[in-house]
Amino acid sequence: MNSGDENEIAKRVEELKPLLKSVLEILGENPDRQGLQKTPERWARALLEYIQGSDQDPFDHLKVNFTLDEDDYPQGTDDMIIQGNIEFVSMCEHHLAPFRGIVDLAYIPNNEARVITGLSKLSRVVNVFARRLQVQERMTQQIARALDEHLKPAGVVVVSKAIHYCMIQRGVEQRDSVTISTARRGVFVEKPDLERKFQDYLRFDSKSNFN
């Protein structure tokens, strides 16, 4: 983070502090008591951290790529690059309650360009979209679209699984409910058997022990 970013954050924190102090007062709290004196500032900084992905472009993480030789990736192959168990925490835009879970994704390099990206970049792309006011369904689609647009692969599939604290702490209070969202592009739409293979790989991974 550069000094310009730090100055912008400090400015936004100062703007948020009186507003959040008012929220505490409306809730019946005394923001001047010892335990709450620093809460508006901490809350402001936390909120800005929760949505820091709103100011980030996923292309920043995908613009440095690599090309596979044709000998290593022959024409016509449907071999996948899979990244599983990417952890994320996001903030539901409906109730400003967190939801957290994992993303499993795969892409198949284009037969002509054969472009791949660093594995850590995939996790960063997930984090860019998770660190926004979100709904899970849109986040899943955004991840797939970003990979599709910037890597130009033959196909992309993204699966997100999450628990939502708006369902745990309020309303229906479903503590064990899990939400699953999927997004597919390219050959994963055209060839449903590829998604089944992807799921088979994930099941195999869940049985493996790398420790």
- Tens-digit pLDDT profile for residues 105-125: 999 998 888 889 988 999 999
115 burial via Cβ count (<10 Å: 0-12, 13-18, 19+): middle
Amino acid (one-letter) located at 36? L
Yes or no: say if 80 and 87 are a contact pair by the CB < 8 Å rule: no
**All domains of the chain in start order, with CATH:** 3-49 (1.10.286), 55-207 (3.30.1130.10)
Q: What is the pLDDT of residue 4?
A: 62
Helical ranges in the chain per DSSP H:
3-26, 39-50, 59-62, 119-130, 136-151, 165-168, 187-190, 192-207
Within 13 Å and on the Cβ side, how many CA atoms surround 16?
Answer: 17
List the structure tokens of 128.
């860019």
Answer whether residue 171 shows pLDDT above 60: yes
How much is the mean pLDDT over the chain?
A: 90
Answer whether residue 75 shows pLDDT above 80: no
Name the more confident of 70 and 102: 102
Q: What is the pLDDT of residue 160?
A: 97
Rg (CA), the chain: 21
Check residue 190 and give left, alpha or beta (phi > 0: left; psi -120 to 50: alpha). alpha
Q: How confident is the model at residue 101 (pLDDT cuts 50, 70, 90)?
A: very high
Within 13 Å and on the Cβ side, how many CA atoms surround 117?
Answer: 25
Question: What are the tens digits of pLDDT across the range 35-72?
Answer: 999 999 999 999 999 999 998 999 999 987 888 888 77
| Orientation of helix 136-151 relative to helix 119-130, angle to 10° | 140
Q: What is the pLDDT of residue 72?
A: 78
Answer whether residue 174 shows pLDDT above 90: no
Q: What is the pLDDT of residue 15?
A: 96
Answer whether residue 154 shows pLDDT above 70: yes
For 5, other C-beta atoms within 10 Å of its C-beta total: 11
